[in-house]
Amino acid sequence: MVENTIEKTLDSETLLTGLSYVIKQIRKEKQLTQEDLSCDVGLARGYLSDVECGARNFSMKNLVKIANGLDVRPSELIRLAEEHMKRRAE
């Protein structure tokens, strides 16, 4: 059986909050505007803004698009989001 290293209280809303934060931080680190990233990945700027605010529940398909636009793996975004939310909970 695979050991679950994620806190049992990590739910989809918590993960979404973490992903929103991580996506925004990586975009800023790469000095991309929302407009730049949205054009690169084929999503509306308003949609991306909603993702970064945590106001949008987005699909796995769009998570992959955003990850590709940021030049990171989707799994890395999720890992960083989990770490961020664990730090916030401490």
Element (H, E) at 80: helix 74-89
- For the stretch 55-65, pLDDT in tens is 999 999 999 99
C-alpha to C-alpha distance for 62 and 64, rounded to whole angstroms: 5
What are the structural domains, with CATH classification, of the chain?
18-89 (1.10.260.40)
Give Cβ neighbours of residue 73 (< 8 Å, ≥ 6 apart). 67
pLDDT band with cut points at 50, 70 and 90 for residue 8 = low
Look at residue 1 in the predicted model and tell me its pLDDT.
45
